[in-house]
Amino acid sequence: MKALLFYVLQVVLCSGILYSYYLLVLRNKKFHQYNRFYLLSVVVLSFIIPLLEFNIRPGDLEVVDSQVLQNIFIKSYKPADTNNLQQIGNWLLNNAISIVYIVIAVFFLFRLVKSVGHLLLIRQRYKAEKLQKIQLFRTNEPGTPFSFFNWLFWDNTIGMESDKGRQIFKHELYHIQQKHSWDIIAMELVCVVGWVNPFFHLIRREQATIHEFLADRYAMQHQDKWDYAELLLVQALTHKKRLTQPFFNNQIKRRIAMITNVNKTSFLYVRKLLVLPMLLLLVALFAINCSNDDAGKAEQPVVNKDSVEEIVIEQKTPAGKDSGTVEELTIVEEKQIPPPPPPPKIEVRKFIPPKVVKDGEAPSKAELPKFIPPKVVKDEEADPSQVYSKVDVEASFPGGVKGWEDFLRKNLNANIPVDQGAPAGRYTIFVQFLVDKDGNTSDFKQLTRHGFGMEKEVLRVLKLTGKWNPAYVDGKAVAAYRKQPITFVVE
């Protein structure tokens, strides 16, 4: 749910930035066709850009090497409520946001279906006339003339042969030819799905206005623009039907201003091309993630299956008992195979060739090369102040497996992911800590971020463990890092 809400927020921000650019640079300019497709692209890009992901790895970062402890599998079970009313109340509370979203989306969808149904009823009342690919309906309905796809609903009080009728017909014909109804249906569906985004509603309204600008420009070709503006002003009516392209609508002021404006748009190509760097900025803002190879590897260390066995903790809540207590806890016996000893270091000596003896001379014993076997050099003695990544004996919990089992039974809350709403699945987390030469633990750090309180719970428990048995190198206690993997299984 958190990921979905974050995605919705990114969509709102992305569409808001792109629409703001339209308001500041492109709105009420005379490249209407460009603006039409720009607004459609704003909607598509607002959904796509937050889904893009590009990982940039700036370089290697220093990561502390550490020994990996046995993996712990924790199974959590959420007990079923016997109270049905309580179950329903909890479900409604947990899904309140989803329910509100669905209810409002259904309302918008109902309005859309109602508008389409109203147009279908008007279509059934009147007989259609074929004009090439257009179906003409001569009606007495208020708000006509308007068009929807290839349907043209005409007002019988307007003569099609008059100058006014011809201009209106050309206007509606352009809507049909340019398939503006597809834009309207698409934006209506977008507003149904994304009704929470206010910029989608603004884009829908602006898109309809741009359609009118385009149709007005086509209709007044070879006509006096002042006569056409007078036609809009004198016969302006309020049109209440949705999904249609009414000739007389509530954008009369902007349409007349656009018709009578003779000024050319300045910096025409600059206004259009500036969209490209803005899109690159949005991609960089929403889609590029800086990561590191070693950091990514640290989140999922590889556990050597030959050296350790998994520890399994199963938490169940029997009927009649409160949740959150460990009733059954089973730890599989840990099997450790000591690492092989390192190969001896061989001292490399320089080869000295034997002296050449001339004929007739007896070789001296001192001159004969003496064979010297390679010297075996022992590893340097362990330094207790150094933090080791490879040790002879790994640090361990006092009391062995049985002590580790008793400690986890008393302290670990296996139901922490269930209590914090984690969905069903497996969550393997890793934490790291340091065991010094005296067995003290410190430098606790989480290496993963699954959330739902799992990393915090494991760190809390590890900080309660007290002293450990330190690691050993050459028989001396040394400091070493340890990683602890724990897998929470939510069922």
Neighbour count for residue 45 (Cβ, 10 Å): 17
Q: How many CA atoms lie within 13 A of 281 on its CB side?
A: 10
Which of 227, 218, 216, 215 is CA-nearest to residue 162?
A: 227
Contact 41, 48 (CB under 8 A): no
- 485 DSSP β-pair partners: 430
What token pair was written down for 160? 């099609």
| Spatial separation of the C-alpha atoms in residues 299 and 307, rounded to whole Å | 20
Contact 413, 446 (CB under 8 A): no
| Spatial separation of the C-alpha atoms in residues 224 and 254, rounded to whole Å | 18
What is the dihedral angle through the alpha carbons of 112, 116, 122, 127, rounded to the nearest 10 degrees? 170
Confidence (pTM): 0.57
Which of 247, 259, 189, 240 is CA-nearest to residue 40?
A: 189
Distance, C-alpha 7 to centroid of its chain: 6
Instruction: Tell me which CATH code domain 311-335+384-490 carries.
Output: 3.30.1150
Q: Could you give the 3-state DSSP secondary structure of residue 396?
A: strand
Residue in the structure block whose two tokens are 């069922």: 491
- 471 DSSP β-pair partners: 478
At residue 42's C-alpha, the angle toward residues 181 and 288, to 5°, is 150
| Spatial separation of the C-alpha atoms in residues 206 and 39, rounded to whole Å | 8
Distance, C-alpha 379 to centroid of its chain: 51
| Spatial separation of the C-alpha atoms in residues 457 and 467, rounded to whole Å | 19
What is the dihedral angle through the alpha carbons of 414, 420, 423, 426, rounded to the nearest 10 degrees? -30
| Spatial separation of the C-alpha atoms in residues 239 and 219, rounded to whole Å | 20
pLDDT tens digit at each of 491 positions of the chain = 667 888 999 999 999 999 999 999 998 888 899 999 999 999 999 999 998 877 665 554 444 445 556 667 777 665 555 456 666 776 777 788 888 999 999 999 999 999 999 999 999 999 999 988 899 999 988 888 889 999 999 988 888 888 888 888 999 999 999 999 999 999 999 999 999 999 999 999 999 999 989 988 888 887 777 777 777 776 665 444 445 555 445 477 788 788 777 777 777 788 888 888 888 888 888 877 655 444 444 444 444 443 444 555 555 444 444 444 444 444 444 444 445 555 555 555 555 666 665 665 555 555 555 656 655 444 455 565 678 878 888 888 888 777 877 887 788 888 888 888 788 888 888 888 888 988 899 888 888 888 888 888 888 988 888 888 888 888 888 888 888 888 888 87
| Spatial separation of the C-alpha atoms in residues 18 and 88, rounded to whole Å | 42
Boundaries of every domain in the chain: 2-61+98-286, 311-335+384-490
**Residues 194-198: contacts with CB under 8 Å, at least 24 apart:** 194/11, 195/104, 195/105, 195/108, 196/8, 196/12, 196/101, 197/8, 197/11, 197/12, 197/15, 197/46, 198/12
Contact 145, 158 (CB under 8 A): yes
Contact 72, 311 (CB under 8 A): yes
Contact 344, 100 (CB under 8 A): no
Q: How many helices and strands, by DSSP H and E, does the chain display?
A: 15, 17
What token pair was written down for 275? 């969209």
What token pair was written down for 120? 């279908």
Residue in the structure block whose two tokens are 């005379």: 30
3-state secondary structure 427-443: EEEEEEEEECCCCCEEE
Distance, C-alpha 323 to centroid of its chain: 33
Backbone angles phi, psi at 153, to 5 degrees: -95, 115
